[in-house]
Amino acid sequence: MKVIEHLERASEPLISFEIIPPLRGGKIGQLLELIDDLMPYHPPFIDITSHAAEVVYEEDPSGAIQRRIKRKRPGTLGVCALIQNKYNVDAVPHILCHGFAREETEDFLIELNYLGIDNVLAVRGDDSGYRKPLKEGRSANRYASDLVHQIANVGEGHYLEKDLLDAEPMAFCIGVGGYPERHSECPNMQAEVANAKRKVEAGADYIVTQMFFNNEYYFRYLEMCRQAGIEVPIIPGLKIITGKKQLASLPRIFNCEIPYELEQEIRTAKEGQVTDAGAEWAHQQVEELLAKGVQSVHFYVMQSSKAVKKLMPRLRL
């Protein structure tokens, strides 16, 4: 089922999650345990991140520094198949501009269609420090709106190769990212909303936001989008803080503000109680969002279910 169908048919609030594939060569057991932990909360869909190749610098036994190109977390397609077929939960694979040719994207969409996967999340992707050389005759999407346009074209049966006479339409439900505190490369919120509108006009069916810790940013973003004529669902994305180091890393990486009250609670929490403080803050966020009519909340779980298991029993769903 498509994400927008889940939203349209829901009679109660929906809670979805986002996870990441194991590291290259890693065992699948830990991921299975994570998904098993999420199943009691009946997620209608689970997002799986995608990762392009990146530049890494490694020291060899002689002490020399070697520059290597690695894709640290392959396996998005396999994890999607696992979730869809073993757990009967709709998988939402992320598709990137950076690091992938348009031809590779088309092949990936065909493979998803074979697996019966109806949903994708189209994102530009972070700059990994590596620009994949394009083979002759190949091209790449520069912006998320370009990627959305390509996926929407496939949904109408328009492929990159014009002579595919037997090509059939593959109509995916397309999600995109939104930034309530603006993307770090965006000069202002007006430009941020304009970017979101371009993605919706290209064919996006819904928006899921970057994490935020102050609901006022979400409500402001929602209002600005509606005023700009963006009518698709806008799902708030939340993160539960689980470590004191995240007070510095999350704002730096995701361009999000951590409110003073939350920062103080996390900073002064005793060891072993940080996750409790983070879960309680997220609980308050969810309750306010639901009280104001939000019908779906998305949690960035990534690799551990510990924080979610502390939060979910507190929610009145």
Would you list the DSSP string of 240-296?
----TTHHHHHHHHH--PPPHHHHHHHHHSPTT-HHHHHHHHHHHHHHHHHHTT--E
Instruction: Give the per-residue pLDDT at 37.
Output: 96
Would you list the DSSP string of 43-54?
-SEEEE-----E
Interval 147-194: pLDDT, tens = 999 999 999 888 887 766 566 788 999 999 999 999 989 999 999 999
Tell me the pLDDT of the chain averaged across its residues.
Answer: 89
3-state secondary structure of 56: strand
CATH number at residue 86: 3.20.20.220
% of the chain residues with pLDDT over 90: 72
Domains: count for the chain: 1
Instruction: Give the per-residue pLDDT at 182.
Output: 94
Q: Can you give the pTM of this predicted structure?
A: 0.90
CA 122, distance to chain mean position in Å, is: 9
Measure the CA–CA gap between 95 and 247, rounded to whole angstroms.
Answer: 28
89 is in which domain, residue-wise? 3-314
Q: Does the pLDDT value for residue 77 go beyond 60?
A: yes
Higher pLDDT, 58 or 118: 118
Q: Which residues lie closer than 8 Å to 78 by C-beta, 6 or more apart? A: 21
| Mean pLDDT value of segment 116-129 | 84
Instruction: Give the per-residue pLDDT at 133.
Output: 65
